[in-house]
Amino acid sequence: MTDYDLREYLGRLEEAGQYRRVEVPVDAELEAGAIAQRLAERGGPACHFTAVKGAADGATLVGGTLSRGDRFLWAKLAVALGLSPDAAHRDLLEEVVKRREAPIRPMQVKNGVCKENILRGADIDLGRLLAPRVHGSDGARCISSWGITIVEEPGSNRIVWESLPHRVISRSEMVTDLPVESAIGSLFYRRYEPSGKPMPFAVVIGGPPLLTVAANFRLRRGSASAPDIAGGLQRAPLQIVRAETSGLGIPATAELVLEGLVHPGRREAASSYPNIFGYRAPDQQTQPVWEVTAVTFRANPVLPFATSGVPVTEAHIARSIDCDSQLRAEFIRRGTPVSGVYTPPWLAGAAVIVASKMIYTAFSQSLAGIVRSTEATRHVPYVFACDDDVDVTNPVTVFHALGTKCHPHRDMWQVHDTLALGCEPFLSAAERRQQSQANGATAIFDCSWPLDWDRSIAVPPRVSFDQCYPKALQEQVLAEWSSALGFPREKDRPAIAV
């Protein structure tokens, strides 16, 4: 695979039946956002709106580029990785783990299509750019609901990527939710602003698809950078050019790039944007102002956007595979006998399910300890530990194990005063204001049979297709009756039971 752009990805989605071109006029004022939210909740193809009302410069919108597919939850991510759209989660996960462990540094090129058009100074008018109002509660149009914000750590060459929702407030200014615990928020509030220096930035919209996935990965300091991981995911170096004003490296094939500065002390009131849990956060009093000093874009730019509501949105898909790949690699490194790990995207990262051979009593607590020590999952409030015969991606088998094996008193533990993100909806207002963030907790559910039970007497045999019949008969039934009775193939089984 070589470095490829958003347009080629849309072509691959079309070949996989996960893309729809919509030529009927669509309004960027809420209508496009409503369609994207419906796609996220129920599944469907990426929708390319080619006749957006009020669009200028030949711009078009595309929604649902990585959200839940219309038949398989992970179809679009699989296509982005160059895999079959109906690849099983296990195969997809193993591929992501392998690619993350082989990062590839970016390659600088002299020029790119992202600079076919360049605007500076008085020529900049963000209101002219195609930015949808995604949710009814949004105070302004969001120009970067599925993009990458790039900054550089002062005093080093460390590049930080993050996916932030920038909203337009004037011809050349934006605001965004920038919590201090975010990677870029930490740099601004703790490094740039105290030193009195403006923070240069670049906002990339419509880059190669796996770049935004990498921007949603939570990385421990000292690990590979997001640009290197993006290269590993696409198995080719990211081609970058230097930004017009800041010198930051930007993807050469990006559809639209906004460059500028975040000045110390400059704030504007702004309504909050929905968070990863699918709720609208309480409004914060003011937010930093992002001044745009240059805009570059391709001819007839194709601009991806995403809703930030209840699952399963693009962010849930990206963060779920981030959690699973980090955990899978950590369990392998430690030699832990784990047969499956899953962070259900439909639970917005609030739970991790691990299936393993239980090698000693209360081994589930050790599994939870590893979950809580991994960067992507250290804030997770719920951990389910299951026997190794449980399909962690199937909520029916997981909740069957919870309801039949987990004793409500004996097999449930709580870890108090753990780190919380601060935006969890179950936190009280006082807990959200707590500066230390040690206001969370983790609940551990042991959904496995106790090791001291006699397997021949105390553990009842499970009556299911795969455990109750001879293997030869199972294969015969599937071979002879699947077509006649319309049995779904295993890889077609919905990831969310309805």
In this prediction, residue 436 carries a pLDDT of 64
Q: What six digits make up the tokens of 73?
A: 């939850």
In this prediction, residue 17 carries a pLDDT of 95
Task: Please report the DSSP string for 54-85 in residue order.
Answer: T--TT-EEEE-SSS--SS-TTHHHHHHTTS-T
Q: What six digits make up the tokens of 5?
A: 């752009």
Q: What is the mean pLDDT of each run of 10 residues along the chain (498 residues)?
A: 81 96 96 94 95 94 92 92 93 96 96 96 95 90 96 91 96 92 93 96 96 95 92 96 94 97 94 88 83 97 95 96 97 96 96 96 95 94 96 94 96 89 84 73 95 85 86 90 74 43
**Residue 353: DSSP 8-state:** E
Q: What six digits make up the tokens of 123?
A: 């020529």
Amino acid at 281: A
pLDDT tens digits, 108-154? 999 999 999 999 999 999 999 999 999 988 889 999 999 999 999 99
CATH code for the part of the protein at 88-305: 2.30.110.10
Q: How many residues does the chain have?
A: 498
- Residue pair 29/269 in contact by the 8 Å Cβ criterion: no
SS3 179: coil
In this prediction, residue 435 carries a pLDDT of 59
What φ, ψ does residue 76 adopt, rounded to 5°?
A: -70, -40
Measured CA to CA, the distance from residue 135 to residue 305 in angstroms comes to 12
Measured CA to CA, the distance from residue 425 to residue 431 in angstroms comes to 11
Integer CA distances (angstroms), 99 to 185, 235, 272, 373, in order:
28, 7, 35, 22
In this prediction, residue 129 carries a pLDDT of 95
- Residue pair 205/253 in contact by the 8 Å Cβ criterion: no
Q: Which is nearest to 159 in space by CA: 207, 100, 109, 219?
A: 219
How far does CA 339 lie from the centroid of its chain?
23
End-to-end CA distance of the chain: 36
- Residue pair 49/22 in contact by the 8 Å Cβ criterion: yes
User: Parallel, antiparallel, or unpaired for β 199-205 and 148-152?
Assistant: antiparallel
pTM for the whole structure: 0.92
Element (H, E) at 319: helix 314-334
For the chain, the domains span: 88-305, 336-492
In this prediction, residue 50 carries a pLDDT of 97
Measured CA to CA, the distance from residue 37 to residue 54 in angstroms comes to 21
- Residue pair 401/354 in contact by the 8 Å Cβ criterion: no
- Residue pair 61/28 in contact by the 8 Å Cβ criterion: yes
Look at the domain 336-492 and name its fold: UbiD C-terminal domain-like (3.40.1670)
